[in-house]
Amino acid sequence: MAHVLVVEDDQFVRSALIRHLTAAGHSVRSVGTALQALREVSQVGFEVVILDLGLPDLDGREALKMLRGITDVPVIIATARDDEAEIVRLLNDGADDYLVKPFSVEHLSARMSAVLRRAGGASGGRDGGREGVLRVGGLAVDPQRRVARLDGEPLDLTRREFDLLAFLAQRPGVVVSRKELLTQVWRQSYGDDQTIDVHLSWLRRKLGETAARPRYLHTLRGVGVKLEPPGTPGEGTA
């Protein structure tokens, strides 16, 4: 299984892709414009993006360039355009593969598997054994692909929530001060602790916990916060 974003403005094509990819076991989100795609990619960790070129607000080639400015997620171009020079330009601009409509879902699935293998992904949605995946209990965080899963299910995280979780997952069991979080995650030398507390609260909610009943995120009063597997004895948490 892969976490897929389908960027397609044709509702019929979009619905067909969603239906078939979901039936194949993939987790699918979809949008109809380039700006929506950029917003989704900046906030959610995807393993592959299927991008149409004929979008209503921005040409797909420009959308691809903007995507490459914020992420290295594999992008498969899916379009009716079949000009060879255009294909070469798109591949040079950062596309990982190119499919000309009409195509079968089997063909798309095979191309997705190949792209994910090249990107270091694991087919079938399993990231077991993949280098670079951070594991803390039932959490699996892949900083390179910007994908996080809890007990095998993808987490729908904003960009900042993912950065915060990945930073803590690199230091399991280590108490990290708010000052260090502000410096390393927010890239600020000073700021309001409330910003960190708000993001921790949002992250806790998505991890299925609260500050009063923590599972992974533990706050130590006056010291900082740590990420550790459920069941690990904690001290001074709040």
Contact present, 51 and 14 (Cβ < 8 Å)? no
Residues 72 and 143 in one domain: no
Residues 7 and 120 in one domain: yes
Q: In the numeric block, which tokens belong to residue 36? A: 């929506």
Written in H, E and C, the secondary structure of the chain is CCEEEEECCCHHHHHHHHHHHHHCCCEEEEECCHHHHHHHHHHCCCCEEEECCCCCCCCHHHHHHHHHCCCCCCEEEEECCCCHHHHHHHHHCCCCEEEECCCCHHHHHHHHHHHHHHCCCCHHHCCCCCCCCEEECCEEEECCCCEEEECCEECCCCHHHHHHHHHHHCCCCCCECHHHHHHHCCCCCCCCHHHHHHHHHHHHHHCCCCCCCCCCEEEECCCEEEECCCCCCCCCEC
Mean local confidence (pLDDT), 85-100: 86
Residues 187 and 156 placed together within one structural domain of the fold: yes
Say if residues 63 and 33 touch (Cβ distance below 8 Å).
Answer: no
Query: What band does 124 get if pLDDT is binned at 50, 70 and 90?
Result: very low
Same domain flag for 47 and 118: yes
pLDDT of 192:
66
What would the pLDDT profile of 133-165 be if each residue is shown by its tens digit? 888 888 999 887 788 999 888 899 888 888 899
Record the tokens describing residue 221, joined without a space: 């009063």
Q: Which domain, by its residues, includes 200?
A: 134-227
Q: Mind listing the pLDDT tens digit for each residue in 179-235? A: 888 888 887 766 667 788 888 999 999 999 998 999 999 988 878 899 998 876 544
Which of residues 70, 93, 125 is at a domain's end? 125
**Overall domain count for the chain:** 2
Last residue of a domain, one of 125, 142, 161: 125
**pTM across the whole model:** 0.53
Does residue 232 lie in a domain region?
no
pLDDT for residue 190: 65
Same domain, 65 and 108: yes
Give the pLDDT score at 236.
43
Domain boundary among 74, 93, 125: 125
Residues 8 and 97 in one domain: yes
Mean pLDDT value across residues 105-124: 71
Q: Are residues 30 and 63 in the same domain?
A: yes
Same domain as 72, residue 138? no
> Nearest 5 degrees, angle CA 21-CA 23-CA 24?
65
Query: Do both 81 and 141 map to the same domain?
Result: no
CATH of the domain at 32: 3.40.50.2300
Over residues 167-172, the mean pLDDT reads 90
Residue 237: strand pairing partners: 220
The answer on 159 and 64 residing in a single domain is no
**Is 235 within a domain?**
no
Mean pLDDT, rounded, of the chain: 83
Segment 24-47 shows an average pLDDT of 87
| 125 has a pLDDT exceeding 70 | no
Q: How far apart are CA 41 and CA 158, in angstroms?
A: 9
Percent of the chain scoring above 70 in pLDDT: 89
Q: Which of 6-15, 18-27, 65-74 has the highest mean pLDDT?
A: 6-15
**CATH number of the domain that residue 203 is part of:** 1.10.10.10
Using the CB atoms, write b or e for 75-91: b if 16+ within 10 Å.
bbbbbebeeeeebeebe
Span 65-79, mean pLDDT? Answer: 86
Quick check: is 41 in a domain? yes
Question: pLDDT class for 50, splitting at 50, 70, 90?
Answer: very high
Residues 107, 218 within the same domain:
no
Residue 231 is predicted with a pLDDT of 75
* Residue 237 counted as domain residue: no
Tell me, yes or no, whether 37 lies in a domain: yes
Inside any domain, residue 236: no
What per-residue confidence (pLDDT) applies to 119? 65
Residues 147 and 209 in one domain: yes
